[in-house]
């Protein structure tokens, strides 16, 4: 099982910060959600369905479409060959939807995103 753990920070503003991850791929996902999608995941959902836009980037993450997949990479990777997190469009949209419903609306103290059996899930703790 792969995972990323994020913790709620309240100062200087409400946000989530990295606590632990099982892999670079999961770290990319956590940074994308906490720093890029942060409070506006709908703009990235729109990107998925915009057939004209193949590439976009934000604060920390580059996104590229490849067939039915979304490829996420760290814009500031120090690796010779950047690690890529490859998700289906459906997985990507579901993670963003869950982020909005389970994290942004409820503001839990801890967020754990797991990847197991080809599924992403978001668990929260107060």
- pLDDT tens digits for the chain (126 residues)? 999 999 998 877 778 998 999 999 999 999 999 999 988 899 999 999 999 999 999 989 999 999 999 999 999 999 999 999 999 999 999 999 999 999 999 999 999 999 999 999 999 999
Rounded to 5 degrees, what angle do the CA atoms 31, 104, 119 make?
A: 60
Rounded to 5 degrees, what angle do the CA atoms 3, 79, 27 make?
A: 15
Q: Note if the pTM is more than 0.95.
A: no
Query: The domain containing residue 115 runs over which residues?
Result: 2-125
> Which phi and psi angles does 43 have, rounded to 5°?
-65, -30
Measured CA to CA, the distance from residue 61 to residue 41 in angstroms comes to 13
What's the total number of domains in the chain?
Answer: 1
């Amino acid at each position: 099982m792969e995972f990323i753990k994020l913790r709620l920070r309240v100062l200087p503003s409400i946000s989530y910060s990295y606590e632990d991850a099982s892999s670079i791929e999961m770290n990319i996902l956590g940074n994308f959600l906490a720093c890029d999608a942060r409070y506006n995941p709908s703009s990235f959902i729109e990107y998925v369905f915009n057939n004209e836009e193949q590439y976009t980037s934000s604060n920390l993450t580059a996104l590229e479409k490849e067939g039915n997949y979304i490829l996420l990479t760290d814009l500031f990777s120090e690796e010779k060959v950047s690690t890529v997190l490859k998700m289906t469009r459906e997985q990507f949209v579901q993670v963003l939807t869950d982020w909005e419903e389970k994290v942004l609306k409820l503001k839990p103290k801890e967020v754990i995103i797991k990847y197991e059996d080809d599924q992403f899930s978001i668990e929260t703790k107060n």
